[in-house]
Amino acid sequence: MATWRPFKGMFLDELLRLEGLANDLRSPHCAHCHIALNPTTPSSPRLFRCDDCGQHLQCLACCLAQHSRSPLHRLEEWNGSFWTAASLVELGLVYQVGHGGFPCALPDTTIHNMVVLDAPYIHTVRLRYCNCGRAQEADPVAQLLRNAWYPATVLDPSTCATFRTLRAFRLYNVLGNLNVTDFIAALERMTNTMAVSGLTSVPDRGRQFQRMARQWAFLTRLKRVGRGHDPAGVEATALGQCAVECWACPHDGKNLPLDWRSVDPRLRFLHMLILAVDANFRLKNRICANEINDGSLGPGWAYWVEPEGYQEHVRKYVKEDDMTSCIAFAALLQKDTRMTTGLRVSGVGGCVCARHECMRPNGLGDLQKGERYCNIDWIVFSAIMGVVILALTISYDIACQWKVRLPERVSRLPESMRRNLEEMRVQYGLPIWHSNSHIVECANENKLQHQPGVGKADGEGVERLWANLNPAALATKEMGLGNRADTLDDRLDNHNFLKNMRQGATLQRRLLVARVERENQVAAFRIVSDSVDAALQKKWKAQVKAWEEDKSQPNPYVLPTTGFPTEAEIRLELQQEERQNNVDGRASIAGSSATSFISAGIQIEDTQYRLRELRDEQTLLTADREAKLE
């Protein structure tokens, strides 16, 4: 910026130069036919320039000839003092559809007026349809699509958007959270600045563009997964088929070795699927009076669960009484008490791959009243429906309670969704950060990092996905359920696509870190192992192996709470040893005993801990109190 500051005046001069005739001030002439143009003479040919073609000057005849195939260019006409907006419609241009603007041997006799949204402007175009053999009997809608113009309706369309505009808006929406209202307002402002004053008008096409943008995003997803080439047609699309799957998760027949089913049990974790489950109560949806029944364009075809079966299942569980609690945790305490007045959806539940943070196909579902088992069960088992795996780990912030009666609840799911949990070798864990909210015994037993084969997966990736979706919460809160589902499908589609495109760099970075950390951990482990008796090592290894194979065995990572001497018992034992030392003549010459010294140290540590807790409280300390703490 410092190098630019001295050039402020020069840049401003050049901007102002383009507001006039610029380099053509002395001898203006048409750049195509070279006819002289004298803007000061009334009989002189009219003078035009085009923002899209360049800054060169054009006469009327050349301008119409050059733009017969470019009806969406933005023209300006010189009025003798400054440039004013000009329209190809006012100049008499009629665009020939079906031939790219070239003449048609048998054009339609009717001239149609069409509003075309082509960012950054809204244009009005006069056009004719094609009736010759080139059209192959295509109706007006098909002819517009072949011209890369997307019609807003299939019934006598009068509004279109160019493919490039729809493509650009989709990216603006999923990356920048730009909504249709603001996008159309920007186009109107660019088309005519005076439109905001109400003195002039620009065709309002907000509703039409909303439909076109939604349809475009849906068709783009269908096209990408090859649904246009299936002889069975679009309606034969399977559940979850339009979702972008995680490239790095195990997929039988794609990225697994041929003998992966017979791999050594110690290496089974290499082909294990790790899922993270969570609920998001920001993605609400209000009850809307007089709403038109407008379902999703592809119900269950991407990331949402199949809606009809899901709703039928949830209706069977109006009230659940089997919840117990090990903690004062929001997901448990607020299960049936979340504010749902005026809401038909209180949030969403989601299932992602924990290591790569991609939403699973059919891994998202609406929550009607808090975070209930019936919702989460359906979402999780929809997300793994048809998956072929030998081991599965599920991270969930209330996994300690959710897993208790899970086999019983799975038996009540549709047969196509049921899975044998024992054959799949399912293990459950609490996400790293959330595990701190559980009581010590529960956290030690269910921590994700204590589960074999999990490695450094923290189970919190689903929270990071919610952070990407939450900016859409305000807009989707007021949408119909169908529009909302399609909108969030598109957001998730972009999220998974970006995750996959960055997998190479991410996994490479993790590999470099893992190699260094492995060496550190191996060195630390050897130091500890060398200090432990061989017999005790063997005993500990046996305990770990027994617990990993059968979770009903004692957890080796949990210290027993009984069987240990109390502080008072240890103090008494030390005092007895000191008395015996006095009798034997081996008493310390120090002024105090070892027992009293250790007791004093423990008291000091306890006082320091309490002071730290007091200091870290979210309260304002007076200067006197803070000085005492110091």
List, for residues 587-615, the tens digit of each pLDDT value.
555 556 777 777 788 888 888 888 877 77
Q: pLDDT grade, residue 37 (50/70/90)? A: confident
Greatest alpha-carbon pair distance for the chain in Å reads 131
Three-class secondary structure of residue 56 per DSSP: strand
Q: 18 and 55 in contact (C-beta within 8 Å)? A: yes
Q: Look at residue 172 in the predicted model and tell me its pLDDT.
A: 96
Instruction: Kindly state whether residue 138 falls inside one of the protein's structural domains.
Output: no
Q: Cα–Cα distances in Å, from 347 out to 331, 350, 402, 470? A: 12, 10, 19, 11
3-state DSSP assignment of residue 59: coil
**Residue in the structure block whose two tokens are 């807009």:** 475
Which residues face 522 on adjacent strands? none
Name the one residue in this structure whose structure tokens are 């617990």.
Answer: 547
What is the model's pLDDT at position 312? Answer: 93
Mean pLDDT to the nearest integer, 131-154: 92
pLDDT digits (tens, 9 = 90+) for 170-190: 999 999 999 999 999 999 989
| Gap between the Cα atoms of 432 and 395, Å rounded | 9
CA dist., res. 483 & res. 296, Å (int)? 6
* Confidence class for position 432, pLDDT limits 50, 70, 90: confident
Helix (H, G, I), strand (E, B) or coil at 349: strand
- In this predicted structure, the answer to whether residue 241 has a pLDDT above a threshold of 90 is yes
Please say whether the beta carbons of 266 and 456 come within 8 A. no
**What pLDDT shows up at residue 155?**
93
Provide mean pLDDT across the span 467-489.
94
- First-last CA distance in the chain: 47
Greater model confidence, 560 or 162: 162
| Domain annotation covers residue 224 | no
Confidence of residue 390 (pLDDT cuts 50, 70, 90): confident
Position 9 in a domain? no
Confidence of residue 289 (pLDDT cuts 50, 70, 90): confident
5-9, 37-41, 303-307, 396-400: least confident range: 37-41
Q: Are residues 320 and 435 in the same domain?
A: yes
Q: For position 326, what pLDDT does the model report? A: 63
> Residue 77's beta-bridge partner residues?
48, 84
3-class state of residue 384 by DSSP: coil
- Determine the pLDDT at residue 244: 95
**Residue 590: predicted pLDDT:** 57
Query: 91-124, pLDDT tens digit by residue?
Result: 999 999 999 999 999 999 999 999 999 999 999 9
Instruction: Specify if 248 maps to a domain.
Output: no
Residue-wise DSSP of 444-492: HHHBGGGSTT-TT--S-HHHHHHHHHGGGHHHHTTS-HHHHHHHHHHHH
471 vs 326: which has the higher pLDDT? 471
Distance CA 194, CA 205 (A): 17
**Higher per-residue confidence, 278 vs 133:** 278
463 pLDDT tier (thresholds 50, 70, 90) = very high
The answer to whether residue 545 scores a pLDDT higher than 80 is yes
Q: Provide the Cα torsion 468, 470, 474, 476; round to 10°.
A: 80
Count other C-beta atoms under 10 Å from residue 105's C-beta. 10
| pLDDT, position 341 | 78
Cβ-contact 590, 578 below 8 angstroms: no
623: pLDDT confidence band, cut at 50, 70 and 90? low
- β-bridge mates for residue 350, sequence order: 278, 364
For residue 328, the model assigns a pLDDT of: 42
Asked if residue 419 belongs to a domain, the reply is: yes
Question: Residue 625's pLDDT band (boundaries 50, 70, 90)?
Answer: low
For residue 323, what pLDDT is reported? 54
The answer to whether the CB of 153 falls within 8 A of the CB of 166 is: no
Burial class (CB in 10 A: 0-12, 13-18, 19+), 490: buried
Q: pLDDT of 183-225, one tens digit each?
A: 999 999 898 887 766 666 677 788 999 999 999 999 999 999 9
Cis bond before residue 39 (omega within 30° of 0): no
User: Are 451 and 583 within one domain?
Assistant: no
577-598 exposure pattern, b = at least 16 Cβ within 10 A, e = fewer: ebeeeeeeeeeeeeeebebeee
Q: What is the mean pLDDT of the chain?
A: 87
| pLDDT tens column, 356-386 | 999 999 999 999 888 889 999 999 999 999 8
559 inside domain: no
Q: How far is CA 539 from CA 533, 534, 535, 536, 546, in A?
A: 10, 9, 6, 5, 11
Q: For residue 24, what are the CA distances in angstroms to 30, 35, 380? A: 10, 13, 69
- If asked whether residues 393 and 279 sit together in one domain, one would say yes
Last residue of a domain, one of 41, 67, 93: 93
* 573 within a domain of the structure (yes/no): yes
DSSP H helices in 287-398: 307-315, 330-333, 373-383
Report the DSSP pairing between strands 159-162 and 112-118.
parallel
For residue 163, being part of any structural domain is answered with no
Supply 225's token pair. Answer: 């997964």
User: 239: left (phi > 0), else alpha (psi -120 to 50), else beta?
Assistant: beta
Last residue of some domain: 66, 93, 120? Answer: 93
Helices (H), 339-392: 373-383
Same structural domain, 318 and 435 = yes
Count of domains observed in the chain: 3
pLDDT in tens, 436-462: 777 777 777 888 888 888 988 889 999
State the Cα–Cα distance between residues 263 and 267, nearest whole angstrom. Answer: 7
Looking from the CA of 371 toward its CB, the CA atoms found within 13 Å total: 20
Which pTM does this prediction carry?
0.83
- The pLDDT score that the predictor gives to residue 494 is 95
What is the per-residue DSSP string for 82-93?
A: SEEEE-TTTTT-
Kindly provide the b/e burial profile for residues 356-386, where b requires at least 16 CB atoms within 10 angstroms of the residue's own CB. bbbbbbbbbbbbbbbbbbbbbbbbbbbbbbe
Q: Helices 163-176 and 206-224, interaxial angle, to 10°?
A: 90
Reduce the DSSP state of residue 289 to 3 states and report it. coil
Domain span at residue 35? 22-93
What is the pLDDT, as a whole number, of residue 393? 94
* Mean pLDDT for the stretch of residues 135-159: 93
Q: Are 307 and 435 found together in one domain?
A: yes
pLDDT, residue 335, reads 52
Q: Tell me what the mean pLDDT of segment 558-584 comes to.
A: 75
Among residues 419, 443, 461, the one where a domain terminates is 461
H or E element at residue 597 = helix 594-616
In order, the DSSP letters of 199-241 are: SS-----HHHHHHHHHHHHHHHHHHHTTGGG-TT-GGGPPTTT
How do residues 572-589 score in pLDDT, each as one tens digit? 877 787 777 777 666 555
